[in-house]
Each structure stands twice: as structure tokens, then as C-alpha cells.
A and B are shown apart, each in its own frame.
Chain A
Amino acid sequence: MGPIKIEPTKALDEALTTQRKLAVALDTLRKVDDVDFGVTAKEEIYREDKLVVYRFRGDRPPTAKVPILIVYALVNRPYMVDLQDDKSLVKNLLARGEDVYLIDWGYPDGADRWLTLDDYINGYIARSVDAVARRARVKKINLLGICQGGAFSLCFAAMHPHKVQNLITMVTPVDFQTPENMLSNWVQRMDVDLFVDTLGNVPADLMNLCYLMLKPVRLNQQKYIGLVDILDDKVEMENFLRMEKWIFDSPDQAGEAFRQFIKDFYQGNKLVKGGLRIGEREVSLANITMPVLNVFAEQDHLVPPSASRVLGEHVGTKDYTQIAFRGGHIGIYVSGRAQREVPSAIHDWLAQRAGP
């Protein structure tokens, strides 16, 4: 008895079905609407250079007294947290009474090539936090950092603990040199100075190619073969195309910030080893004394769980909680399970720490 038991007629039928679906796809793809994203109403409350801070508006006024500011990564657009009506972390947080703000970094260009991590963290993030605090008439706010934005939030909270009431990190790398971290392995011998001096800003296409090569067959081929199954479903196709747009709608990376991020975080692993300086300040995770919620994804191929779960060993707080989500780096925002589990987990955790 061999391992393959495919009836020849069934195999051919499978091939023909695939072909027929592909033929139908032509019609379906022509009918799909332009994909839009960012479903929740929002207002601009602060603007500086290309950065904009938005406040989201829910169906009813927020009940939470302390607002949440979402700090997204620089490497992708932040509308992933509000992708579509039934896939929106923002919408689900608003529905639970949270007051949600978000930093949109915009698309850096040549004029931003010299922005440093100090400019981003002690500059842009600090002023965004102040703007949100002023708007909400509070002294401290809740910070929700995602991926690279989570690493930035850790730095900010360590340097400005008096401005952060609670810190939430999602799929955030902390230890950048765990054995499963493929990106880290690739950049260890890279001459980052030569790289940035040559390229200036790091092109978005290059970053995307890099991410695709983390799982080349799955992301370059199998995903599109799976698409055949939904080719005759207009709604599913639109959902797919929306996600596809998000994946490849990426900003370039400001050269100097990239240089420092690769050197200090990936190559130096200074967030856990110590010695990290942002501008004139030293970053020590031990200074993070506010409550911390760390959410990571168990099947994350970009930020392996091992890179995130060590956070508890390094922060100074006595109130540390971590949640391991069953899903991947993107699934943690858009999967059905994520819609049910993640916003309520964040809200409940914050509610337990809300003052009287």
C-alpha cells in the first residue's frame, strides 16, 4: 500500500475543476469593487510633518476615562487594526467603551531620511502622547504598541514612565536573537552602514521581498493557489484583495532610524542585553513599572513567540500579564477568533486596572 491513493479520473477532474474556476475568475475579478479599508469614523487631533494622530469615533461616547494610543510599526500601514467592518480591533475596542487613538506615520520620503529613533520615539511618539493626554484631559494614557511599534512603546514607557498608565504590547519583539528568528539570522552579518549609506531610505519593495522570502513557497505560490477556491465568491475575493493591498502598501523606511534599529535591536539585542540609548537617554526595561499586558501569536513567523514572551523577565513592573494567541502575526488582528478574543482580553485587563 503506497502513500498516494489518487484515482486517475479524480485527478483529472481536479485539474479540470481548477481550470474552470480560473475561467470564472476572469468574470469575478472584473466585478469586484475597489477595495477600501479603515471602516471606523475618525477625526484628526494632531499633525506634525507626515504624522497624523487620529481619534476614532464609536457609536456611543467612550466610557473609559483613560484613552488608548495605538503605536503601529513603521514597516506597514496602520489600517490593519481597522481593516474592514468584521475585522477591526479598533471597532471592537470602541464597542467596549474604550477611547481609541492611533498614530499614522505616513509615507517617509527623502526628506525624512535622517530621522533617527530619537526623533521617532522621544519626538513624534512623545508629542503624540501629549496631544492625546491634553485632548482627554489626563496626565497618563494607555499605550498599545504593535510589532516594531511595540518595541518603540517599550522604549517610550521606559524613558517616560510618568506618561504611561498601562502598557500593552502586541506581537512585539523583545529578545531579537532567539533561534527561530529568521529575519534576525539574515541581518547579523549585514553591513548596515554600507546598506543605509548606499540605499538612503530602505525601499518598501525590498522590505516586502524580505518578508516574502521568510516563507517563499507558501507566500509566493500556495497562497495564490488557495485563491482558486474562492475565485467565484465576490465577497471573499474582495476580502482577499483588501488584505493583499495592505500587505504590499508599505512605506519606505527612514534610513537613519533603520540603521539604528538593525544595529541596536537586531545585531546588538540591546533591549534585553542593556546599553540601548535613544538620543541622550538610556533605555532600561526595568524602568517599566506600570502594568503591562503582552499579547503574542503562537504561530508568528515574523516575531517568534520566543522573542516576545521574555518581556516579563525584563520589565520592572509587578503587574505583568501575557496572553499567547493561537494564530499568526496577521491573524491576531483579522481572524475570526481574534475578533472574539483579543479586544475583550485587552478591555477586561484595562477595566481591572481602571481607577474608581
Chain B
Amino acid sequence: MGDSSIPDWMKQWQALSQQSLNAWSDAARGATPGGAGMPGAGFEQWARAFTPAAAAGPAGTVDRLVDGAKAYVAFMQSLIAAGANAPNGIPSWSDALRQAFAAPGGNALFEHPLAQMWKGAPNGGFAGMPNPFGAMPPPADLGDMKSWLKLPAFGFLREHQEHQQKGAVAFVEYQEQVARYNAQMLEAARRGFELFEGKLAEREQPGRQIESLRALYDLWVDAAEEAYAEIALSREFQEIYGELTNAQMRLRAQIQQEVERLSVDLGMPTRSELNSIGERLQALRREVRAQRGGDALIDEIAGLRGEFEALKAAVKSSRAPVTREVPARTVIVEPVVAKSEKARHAKARKTPAPAKATPPVRAKRRAKAERAERAVAAVAPGNFASRIAKFADASLGSGRRKERPPADKADAGKRKKKKR
């Protein structure tokens, strides 16, 4: 094909493509001192140049950025290249897209940069722990291998052999589930392209057409996510995902058991032992808390403390001198007097005293005292003593409480006396 067959815009395209490669190389040279700047390798060099800077930001961001940008640029380049190779010089974007995605179906779909993540999908989610056997190719005939691995073991080391066989079976079963999961992901990719074509068809009217590569990419993402959601929300996926996760865990458990056996042989502490200690420790903490009365009692104490503080504050704010002069504890104290003297006092009390006019200062004090009592009653309307008793019940138990009634009774009697 001679130069005359190439339209002008195509020549410009080729010139710009060369400019693109040069730009990559320039960027790479600028980023990497002494970088060779090989065409096509610019991105890799550029990415490597980020390595020291990666520590400045959150780990992985630069890698993510580079990976995402690489995929996107690859997407753009594949479309541009497909357009450039259009036979009649007019780019057919739909054909270019099909080529770019190798769609519909086929393994090439998985090889496209944008579809690469589907391949990595088994490493995502609950099912996706780092796979210790990730680098190993799956056996060709898993079913056949399983039957061999289930052969009975004999002799002195039969237990060891059996464990190893179980581990190998767990691995084979895990690979089976990975294959099922991959099939789901491939289906998601295929369905994604179907939806993508549908979304493109909706954009045929003038004014709704896609005018940039970015808009095209965003549309593809919408379609891909929609397709993935269809699959990921299905009952079939639920079953496959669960089985994959469980297979992964069985495999890990087998590996852990082998490590434990080895640790025991070497006299090392094992995960089981640590778990056992941790479990006992937490149980002990709960027991201690329960013996201290549990959270309910602690709540009760805290509540009573709060109530007590409120009462103190109320009494203080009333500024009643009576409450300061006659605090509750003073009620307990009774002066020791001789019997004869007591009788004399009692006689004196029986004799009615002549009526006296209440001095104004004393009346004022009494009024203040009454106000203070009302304030106290407002804060804890008559239930303080009962809550204290409840608290004592809970904290001391009825047996111990029984040992203390005399003191309580004495207190009550003394309070009565004081009132009189």
C-alpha cells in the first residue's frame, strides 16, 4: 500500500502517535535520571520513578494510580490503534471496541488490560486470602488426582501420610472452586460487553453520542459493574462464593495443622495454645466482673453516687445552717448520762414549759431548714433509703445483711429520738 492510499488525517495520526511515544520517553527520562527512555517502556520507567516517592503518601496509592492509568492508557491506545488500521480509512469504533475486548466471549477477553482484574477476582473478598499455592498450575484432572489422594495409608508413618493426603485433597478441592469462581467472572465479563453494546445503542441519537475516550471508558465501567452486580447478587454466585471461601479455609486449616505439628516437634508455642490462653483470660475477666456484682451493680453504685452528689449539691445550695449543724452522723452519737440524771431530764420534759415567743432568728433558721428538706425531697422523692437497702441486698447478700440489723435498728431508733 503506497502513501497515496493513506488519507491526510491518518498521516497526522501516525505523526501524533510518534509524538505520543516521544512524550512517554521524555516523561520517563525526566522522571528517571539517566533513563534510557525506550519507546513503549516509558510507563514502566515512569512507574519505577515513583518508588521512592511512594513512602510520602499512603502505601499503595501510587501503585494503584499507575496500574489504573496503565490500564486506561492501554485502553486508549488499543482503540486508537484499531482505528488507525481501519481498512477504508474511516475508523469503525464499534469494530475497534470488539477487537479491543476480543468480544464476545473467548479467552482474549481475559487478557485485555481492563479485564485483567477479573482474573484477580478470586483474590478478592472473604474468599480471597493470599493463596500459598498461587503460583502452582492447577492439575489437569482434579477428579482423578483426588481419587489417588484418598488411597489408604499404611505403616509407621501412616498418620503423617494421611495428614499430607488431606492437605493435598483440600488443595485440589480449592482449585475446583477457583475454577467455578473464574467461570462466574468470565460470565460477568461477557455479560458486561453485552450490556455495553446495549448502552452504546442507546447513544445513537444526535446529542447523546459519545465524544471522548473517557466517556467511552466510563460507559464501559457502568456496563461492567452492572453485569458484575447481576452475577454477584445471584443465588448461584452465593453458593459458589460460599464454597470457595470454605474450601480456602479448609486448605488453610490443613496447613495450620501441619505447622502446629512441626511447632510441637520443635518445642515452639502453637496457635492453639495461645488461643486457649486468650479464651481463658477473657472468661476470667468476665468472671471477675460478675463476682464484683456485674455491670448492673456497678450501674447501681454509679447511680447512687450520682444521686448522693445531687443531694449534697442540693443541701449545699439551700445554705441551711441546720443541716450543717446537725449532720446525719451526729444522730448516732448519744451522750452517756447516769440513769438518775436521765430520769430528771424526763421529768423536766413532762413539765409544760411556759409559752415563749419564737425569736425571729430561730424562725428564719427553721424556714431555711424546711426549704432544704423540700429540696432534698424533690431530688430523691423518698426512695433513697430504699435504694440504699436494695444496693446492700445486692452487694452483701441477705445473709450478711442479717448480721447488721441491730445497727440499722439502733440508727432508726435514734433518728426517732432526735425527731422528738
Residues of A near any B CB (own CB < 8 A): 1-16, 18-20, 22-23, 25-26, 29-30, 32, 34-35, 110-111, 113-115, 119, 122-123, 126-127, 130, 134, 137, 139, 179-180, 182, 185-191, 194-195, 197-200, 206, 209-210, 212-218, 220-225, 227-228, 241, 244-245, 248
Contact = CB atoms under 8 A, between A and B. Distances in A.
A332 B348 CA distance: 81
B299 A221 contact: no
Interface residues of B, number: 105
Interface in B205-250: 205-206, 208-214, 216-218, 221, 224-225, 228-229, 232-234, 237-239, 241-243, 245-246, 249-250
B232 A228 contact: no
Given A189-B242, A194-B246, A220-B117, A14 B69 contact: no
13 contacts: A4-B200, A11-B79, A12-B80, A14-B76, A14-B214, A15-B80, A16-B19, A32-B56, A114-B278, A190-B126, A209-B125, A210-B124, A212-B124
Interface in B8-54: 9, 12-13, 16-17, 19-20, 23-24, 26-27, 30-31, 46, 49-50, 53
A194 B12 contact: no
A83 B358 CA distance: 69
Contact of A26 (B53, B71, B204, B216): B53
Contacts of A216: 117-118, 121, 124, 225, 228
B387 interface: no
A172 B26 CA distance: 51
B77 interface: yes
Interface of B: 9, 12-13, 16-17, 19-20, 23-24, 26-27, 30-31, 46, 49-50, 53, 56-62, 64-65, 67-69, 71-73, 76-77, 79-80, 83-84, 91-94, 114, 117-118, 121, 123-126, 128-129, 200-206, 208-214, 216-218, 221, 224-225, 228-229, 232-234, 237-239, 241-243, 245-246, 249-250, 252-253, 256, 271, 274-275, 278-279, 281-283, 286, 295, 298-299, 302-303, 306
Contacts of B249: 191, 194-195, 198-199
Contacts of A10: 211-212
A185 B237 contact: yes
Given A4-B94, A217-B224, A110 B238 contact: no
A75 to B, nearest CB: 13
B295 A123 contact: yes
Contact of A186 (B59, B73, B238, B295): B238
Q: Which 3 A-B pairs have the closest CB atoms?
A: A189-B242, A224-B68, A213-B124
